[in-house]
Structure 1
Amino acid sequence: MRQTVRYADGTYTARGWYGSLPSSITVTVTLARGVITRASVQTHATNPTSLDLQRRFAAAVPRVVVGRPIGEVRVGRLAGSSGTPVGFNDALEKIKEQASN
């Protein structure tokens, strides 16, 4: 029997880590009835190339996650970035934990 996870409405923030350096981003999402109604990414990179990839990812991610149930969101390569989505998914898992407690 499949168990349904309920997520509390609210705004949640978590830092997601990725890569071998390691790199990180901070993700903030707002939930209403388990659906992402707002999403933003704060970049932390100092290397110009990494910062550019993080900024492009941050600009693109709301279009692919807003309006979707948080339990179904898993971001892959986006806006030319293959590493940043790993950090986003890491942060999202932490947010799911926060919202389900």
Structure 2
Amino acid sequence: MESRYQDGAYSADGWYGSLPSSIGVELTLEDDVITDVGVTTHATDPTSLDYQQRFADAVPEVVIGRPIDEVRVSELAGSSGTPDGFNDALDRIKNEASR
């Protein structure tokens, strides 16, 4: 089966919430599978920053090794908003990586 996405390293900001808030997502794709992921926190409010940091620590375990088209993160590590930002960034990366 041919890959839908080009291999490589990608990054995008994902937006969420009413403030609005954002996070940065960096990931590596190989044969449509996420082989590495990182999250850059952008929050300045201590509570929001805590949620973003906990999310950033937890997300690699749930996305690395999975096909990008099967990844849709919901509440994770107590954060219900940050996953929306991650999914937004993921959509932007998928669009950029599309063949």
Q: 14, 20, 26: which one pairs with 1:28?
A: 26
1:9 aligns with 2:7: yes
Local SS of the residue matching 1:85: helix
Structure 2 residue ranges without an equivalent (≥5) = none
Give TM-score, length-normalised by structure 1: 0.94
Match of 1:37 in 2: 35
Secondary structure at 2:88's aligned position in 1? Answer: helix
Residue aligning to 1:76: 74
SS at match of 2:95: helix
Q: Tell me the percent identity.
A: 68
Task: Tell me the equivalent position of 1:58.
Answer: 56
Q: Unaligned stretches of 5+ in structure 1? A: none
RMSD of aligned Cα (Å): 1.1
Give aligned pairs, total: 98
Runs of 4+ in 1 over 2 A off after TM superposition: none
Per the normalisation by structure 2, the TM-score is 0.96
